[in-house]
Amino acid sequence: MRLNRFFVADKPQRKAAARRTTPTLKAHDRRISIASACARRCVCAVPEALGVRLGSSRKLVPTMITSHRKPQVCVLGSAEPGSRAYELAGEAGEALARLGITVVSGCGSPATRVAAERAIQANGLVLSIVPPDHMPAPDWPATVVLPCGMGDARNLLMALAGDACIVIGGRAGTKSEVHLAWLHKRPLLPLVGCGGWSDELPSNPPDERANSPILPWSTVAELQANLRSLGLVKSAA
């Protein structure tokens, strides 16, 4: 009689064979269990890292994410002291500070400087990005100063540093900043009714692409309403 080579006829031999194979199978099962547990942890951890969690039905549920950064608004432009645009620049800076918005200003023109000064007087935060590679004078109206050492290339940093950009009047430098902000989809808030280039911006955007909203304002109340519509201010503020 020819026996299958995997067949063990003797009972003691069968028990010995079982003892030899059982530990291997148990180790294999343990490896599978460990791998499954790791996979379950990864499935739960990845959504948490993305700001969601797995609900009881295994669906993705958004989790609360705490932001430590305050909204930031750039003040761009120019206006002469004594003009209506200059006065509104100061009022805008103070309003931003009272709304808890960080003012970003180069402080290089009378309009942008007065906006920063009024923001500081209202206990606000002011970030000033300056073209040279050294710190400005001690009386510079800013709580944080960034000397970029980039000269006119600083305009790109100004355009990117805000969640939105207020535009007051404006000459060539302001136009450069606004066009860069437009390219990078930053909402624009031009002052209207006071003359200057910002007056023309709502009807003459940088180009036809409608990259971002252009929300004109002529009073601080209108500016605040525009900021709320952009989600930069809580409705109760």
Confidence bin at 67 (pLDDT 50/70/90): confident
Q: Which residues pair with 147 in a beta bridge?
A: 130
Give the number of other CB atoms < 10 A from CB of residue 83. 17
Q: For residues 182 and 174, what is the distance between their CA atoms, to the nearest angstrom?
A: 12
The domain limits of the chain are: 11-62, 72-229
pLDDT at 35: 55
* Predicted local confidence at residue 66, as pLDDT: 77
Find the mean pLDDT for residues 164-185: 96
State in Å, rounded, how far the first CA of the chain is from the last one: 95
Place of tokens 């009378």: 110
pLDDT on residue 232: 97
The Cα–Cα gap between 147 and 162 comes to: 17
pLDDT at residue number 155: 96
> Among 108, 131, 129, 107, which residue's Cα sits nearest to residue 118?
107
pTM of the model: 0.73
pLDDT at 234: 77
Compute CA 188 distance to the chain's CA centroid, rounded to the nearest angstrom: 16
**pLDDT score for 184:** 97
Contacts of 126 (CB under 8 A, 6+ apart): 102, 103, 104, 105, 116, 119, 120, 141, 142, 143, 144
- pLDDT above 90: residue 3: no
- Interacting residues of 153 by C-beta distance below 8 A, sequence separation 6+: none
Looking at every residue in the chain, the average pLDDT score rounds to 85
Report the relative pairing of strands 72-78 and 164-169 from DSSP bridges: parallel
pLDDT classification of 237: cutoffs 50, 70, 90: very low
pLDDT in tens, 27-52: 556 665 655 655 555 545 545 554 55
- Return the percentage of the chain with pLDDT > 90, whole number: 70
The larger pLDDT score, comparing residue 119 to residue 18, is at 119
E-strand stretches of 52-107: 52-54, 60-62, 72-78, 102-105
| pLDDT tens readout for residues 85-127 | 999 999 999 999 999 999 999 999 999 999 999 999 999 999 9
pLDDT, residue 46, reads: 47
Q: Kindly state the DSSP code that residue 51 receives in the 8-state scheme.
A: T
Contact present, 213 and 202 (Cβ < 8 Å): no
13, 104, 175 from 74: Cα distances, Å: 85, 4, 14
Question: Is the CB of residue 192 less than 8 Å from the CB of residue 216?
Answer: yes
- CATH domain 72-229 topology: Rossmann fold (3.40.50)
How much is the CA Rg of the chain, to the nearest whole Å? 32
pLDDT at residue number 28: 54
